[in-house]
Amino acid sequence: MKKIYLIATLTVCTLSLHSCGVMFGGSRYAGAITVKDHPDAEIYVDGNKFGTGNANGLFSRNRPLSVEVKENGCEPKTQTFDKSFRTGNFILSVISWGIIGMGVDLGTGAAYKPAHDSNPNIQKISDKNYKFTVDYSECKKP
């Protein structure tokens, strides 16, 4: 009898710690960063070098993505890609999971996404994949 109670408790806890945002988007997304017309530009995210010209990585949904690009002979440029609220997933989480789903989505960052609707330099590939383009046109190489 205790074993059945334990299994039932564990099942309820496991199911209640998920929400729509976590199940359908997760707390992180895959991002591909491209520096437009500058294949030799170094790409940095949070001070860490990610690549040259193009870079891929997993990024947290709960904060904006800050990208710095550098190329010899040019001033560095920092571009911040803002986040926005995932209203539809959040509403579904509240309806289906209640206050627990709301807390999980907000706590893990799953309630957010890159602000692709308001920024043409962010392209949504899917709920978990985004493409970011950095315009480094102020870097004029001879």
Q: Can you give the chain as a three-state secondary structure string?
A: CHHHHHHHHHHHHHHHCCCHHHHHCCCEEEEEEEEECCCCCEEEECCEEEEECEEEEEEECCCCEEEEEECCCCCCEEEEECEEECHHHHHHHHHHHHHHHHHHHHHHCCCEEECCCCCCCEEEEECCEEEEEEECCCCCCC
Residue 25: name the closest of 58, 65, 57, 64 by CA: 58
Any domain includes 32: yes
Any domain includes 56: yes
Written as tens digits, the pLDDT of the chain (142 aa) is 777 876 766 566 555 554 444 445 567 889 999 999 999 999 999 889 999 999 999 998 888 999 999 999 999 999 999 887 766 665 666 566 666 666 666 667 666 678 888 899 999 999 889 999 999 999 886 5
Tell me the sheet residues that pair with 80: 66
Entry pTM:
0.74
Total residues found in the chain within this entry = 142
Total of domains in the chain: 1
- The pLDDT assigned to 78 comes to 95
Pairing type for strands 112-114 and 28-36 reads unpaired
Any domain includes 110: yes
Distance CA 42, CA 92 (A): 40
Any domain includes 12: no
Any domain includes 34: yes
Any domain includes 65: yes
Any domain includes 87: yes
Any domain includes 73: yes
Asked if 141 and 127 count as a contact pair (C-beta separation under 8 A), the reply is: no
Per the structure, the complete domain to which residue 55 belongs is given by 22-134
Asked if 84 and 112 count as a contact pair (C-beta separation under 8 A), the reply is: yes
